[in-house]
Structure 1
Amino acid sequence: MTSPLLYVDVWSDFVCPFCYLETPVLDQLRNAYGDAVEIRWHAFELRPEPAPLLDPNSERIVDAWEKSVRPLADERGLLMRMPPVAPRSRKAFETALFARESGRYDVVHRAIFKAYFEEGIDIGDTDALLDIAATCGIDPELLEESLDDGTYTDLVIEDEEFAKKLGVSGVPFAVLSREPAPGQEPPPPIALRGAAPIQHYEAAIERLFPDGFPGS
């Protein structure tokens, strides 16, 4: 197995359509570079307690879906429906972190996104999260215990605190960085904001690896 040469740290929220729209682009990246790229997802709640939740049927949201979300979903080959609920996402992040312990982070992470944006499931609801996780091979009883105890709450908050230090105010927000070449300083990391297309990632990789990506 190749050790990663390129790191992509992505801050996102499960309730943000543009974060889900970034997953096919990151899949493309992973397909192109294999194990030489490591994608690390981080939590970013757009509306943590006590921030008011959005009305899922508000004119602003309907408008954004019509003008931005649907066209991009068609372009990137994702089936997306406007969810009828606007939940909080902290428990969803804790569920994904719990899954990481058994190597099922990616499966559960994707399943939560799909449940919300394809089936309109309320991913703020613990029972819904237990069902989603169970279909991914996660023990629902152990997960429920972990959610009740808030085992992973601090890790979610840590991710968000770090995002604040970086000045992240919206998601998706990706930071690309690399291991330094022997005896050299690594080039500075490159940040990409919003649902960036694959071309933006490729351009960033060219800047990080001016002599070409090793092995590509």
Structure 2
Amino acid sequence: MTDAIKIDVWSDIACPWCYIGKKNLEKGLAEVASDEDAPLVEVTYHSYELSPDTPVDFEGDEGDYLVQHKGISREQALEMADRVTDVAREAGLDYHFDILKHTNTVKAHELVHFAKEMGMQDAMKERLLSAHFVEGRHVGRVDDLVELAVEVGLDADATRDALVSEKYVEAVRADEDQARAYGINGVPFFVIDGKYGISGAQPPAAFSQIARQVWAEHKEEAAAV
């Protein structure tokens, strides 16, 4: 049997390009899923904090955040948000930066690791990104995260225990250490089979192309055994 392609994705809940990249990856993989010899693919999400110094309750809106963290004018910040909103719309996403609540994302990353252990990583990642960018929900406080976890089918008490105990902080740090080892300094970043890297929210065709290429390599390797 041919081994599945492993796609490891480094991203942050607070990264608008990461949600766009996730959607484009899914569209690209959906395209190859209809191939006569469709690739087997396993996608795993890994933690990356773009702004670990952000407080849990950031005082200000998107413009304030970008001014503080990127050193640009408020006008430039709002223009940047508008551009990202347009690109997100092309990916089928309806961003609302006017209601977005900036927060520290380490707890959200812990939750994604807990969900992975429960076999629900993708659903939890999707829920967090949608809550943050589309619905303006808070994704940094334990109570809010437990509510979102319950919405995807996770147990409330088990989720709260996982977050309060900080059981998955070590897993978050391990992901970030691996990102540094790979030389990743921006997200989203996709690592295919541990040997190919794709940086940024590439179009769906880029992902379908690499999936077909790597699947052909897997078939050749299997035939040579």
Q: Same fold (TM over 0.5)?
A: yes
What are structure 2's unaligned runs of at least 5 residues?
65-73, 221-225
CA contact (8 A) 1:10 1:173 kept: yes
Q: Structure 1 vs Structure 2: percent identity of aligned residues?
A: 27
Q: Deviations over 1:1-37 (max 9, x none)?
A: x864312111000000000111221212332236701
Q: Give 2:94's match in structure 1, choosing from 51, 65, 79.
A: 79
Q: TM-score, normalised by structure 1?
A: 0.83
Partner residue, 2:70: none
Partner residue, 2:205: 199
CA 1:11/1:211 → structure 2, altered by over 3 Å: closer, same or farther? closer
Q: Secondary structure at the match of 2:148?
A: helix
Partner residue, 1:185: none
Partner residue, 1:30: 29
Q: Deviations over 1:50-89 (max 9, x none)?
A: 799796223244221212x122112111121114321111
The whole-number CA distance in structure 2 between the counterparts of 1:17 and 1:113 is 8
RCO comparison, higher one (Cα < 8 Å, 6+): 2
CA RMSD of aligned residues (A): 2.6
Runs (4+) of structure 1 exceeding 6 A deviation are: 50-54, 211-214
Partner residue, 1:97: 113
Q: TM-score, normalised by structure 2?
A: 0.80
Q: Give 1:47's match in structure 2, choosing from 28, 34, 51.
A: 51
CA contact (8 A) 1:205 1:213 kept: no
CA 1:173/1:141 → structure 2, altered by over 3 Å: closer, same or farther? same
What are structure 1's unaligned runs of at least 5 residues?
179-188
Q: Give 2:192's match in structure 1, choosing from 176, 189, 204.
A: 176
CA 1:158/1:62 → structure 2, altered by over 3 Å: closer, same or farther? same
CA 1:164/1:64 → structure 2, altered by over 3 Å: closer, same or farther? same
Deviation at residue 173 of structure 1 after TM alignment: 0.6
